[in-house]
Amino acid sequence: MASLCWWTFALGALSCLLAVNVHRPPRRPAAVAMLAFMPAWILGELPFHTIALEALIAALFIAGGGLDAWPGVVGVALIAGAWLLHLTAWRAADRVRPRLAALGLPTEPPTRSPIELLWPFHARRHGVTRTVLRWEGDDGHTQLADLYRRPAHPGAPPAPILVYAHGGGWVMGARRSQGLPLMIGLARAGWICVSVEYRLSPRATFPDHVIDVKRGVAEARARAAAWGGDPGRVFLAGDSAGAHLATLAAVTPNRRDWQPGFEAADTSVAAAVSGYGIYDLTSRERQWPHDAFRRLIERAVIKRRLRDAPEAFRDASAWDHLGPDTPPLLLVHGTCDSVVPVAEGRAFARHAERVAPGRVTLLEVPGGQHAFNLFRSRRSDLVVPAVIAWLEAHAATAAERHARTSPPARQRTA
């Protein structure tokens, strides 16, 4: 049938367009970049699922006569070309291995069960329990968090603690749907992980967001003993907007005006991991190819114009709080990120080398889109274990430092 031939051609053209979008997503204008993000993200991380779906649709078209005329033949050729691009994108995930090796991090992905291969969104907890936490904020609002850990074992040494902040552009997102591969992996390794919610804009105005993240750190440290955790080894992590908040909280420890009602609490952390975050809200090196984030921050987050209050934007930028006492930071950023360009991470790392040398490490992930680590994929399976190894190395360093600086038990008792 002639109509099915043209449908086959349309399928091939669409398949090629989507495959090219995985490799070269548009950066501007903002509307196009945001529209292209979702298919580039899903198809880039799930190439074999994409190929299987396109093969099924093409088979149905061909069975109905989709190859009876030249448009159908061309369409099948285009589909085959798209599959080659998808396979190339899948192989590109392995290009992160040399970068991991250069940082002394593991380069082999873990094995996945059949259900995880077929449905990578399924987060198996493998004996890790999840408990809902609640505490009251400074204005009476109830803040929620999820506690991930293995069942406690008597006599086990105190565990390091990770506090995680989800992404969502400061206006959406939920603690239960992000960071699960990282937190479950850490919990299986003996860590205690706390995924905190924070107030969202436009109802919330900065610094409400970072106050809630800092309160999460304070609560985790205060409850550490009850959980079997180590209050001296608290870490932060976040992705996207959560990376902005986690990094900002990490580089502004014990800032009293951002700790209303818990000013005396210790909110310092041993280290932090930031996934595809924003570190300079002013884009002073022109990292952003469009002004969508600036408009969002002006209208919904800080609720002031950059040109009218540049000091407020700088105060909300981790860029302006770096110094010799900055805790170790690991920045993880995909090179194909069309939401927050990798130029943001590169600019921040360069700036850190000038003002806080040796404190910030940038891990660029070849072919990685925004949110590439949200579920299990080839790229996520390579990067997440490496991040866990980085955190465990710094947890061990923190434990050694504490052992060297702590007085003997008899002195502490006296």
Q: At what angle do helices 180-188 and 378-405 cross, to 10 degrees?
A: 50
Catalytic residue list contains 240: yes
Amino acid at 152: A
Q: Quick check: 411 pLDDT over 50? A: no
Catalytic residue list contains 146: no
Query: Which residue, among 228, 219, 210, has the nearest Cα to 155 in the 3D structure?
Result: 228
Q: From CA 403, how far away is CA 414, in angstroms rounded?
A: 18
Give the pLDDT confidence of 305-342 residue by residue, as tens digits: 999 999 999 999 999 999 999 999 999 999 999 999 99
Please report, for the chain, the start and end positions of each structural domain, with discontinuous segments joined by +: 2-98, 115-405
* Mean pLDDT (whole number) for 136-155: 86
Cis-peptide into 29, omega within 30 deg: yes
Q: Which entry of 370, 377, 381, 394 is annotated as an active-site residue?
A: 370
User: Which residue did the predictor score with more confidence, 113 or 4?
Assistant: 4
Q: From CA 316, how far away is CA 310, in angstroms rounded?
A: 10
CB burial class (10 A; 0-12, 13-18, 19+) of residue 189? Answer: middle
Give the pLDDT confidence of 258-289 residue by residue, as tens digits: 999 999 999 999 999 999 999 999 999 988 88
- DSSP string across 88-100: HHHHHGGGGHHHH
Give the pLDDT confidence of 102-114 residue by residue, as tens digits: 999 999 998 888 8
Q: Which entry of 230, 320, 337, 381 is annotated as an active-site residue?
A: 337
Residue 408 confidence (pLDDT): 47
Q: Which entry of 195, 201, 240, 377 is annotated as an active-site residue?
A: 240
Residue position matching structure tokens 């190929």: 51
The listed CATH number (3.40.50.12780, 3.40.50.1820, 1.10.580.10, 2.60.40.1840) that belongs to domain 115-405: 3.40.50.1820
Catalytic residue list contains 351: no
Give the pLDDT confidence of 81-130 residue by residue, as tens digits: 999 999 998 999 999 999 999 999 999 998 888 888 888 887 778 889 99
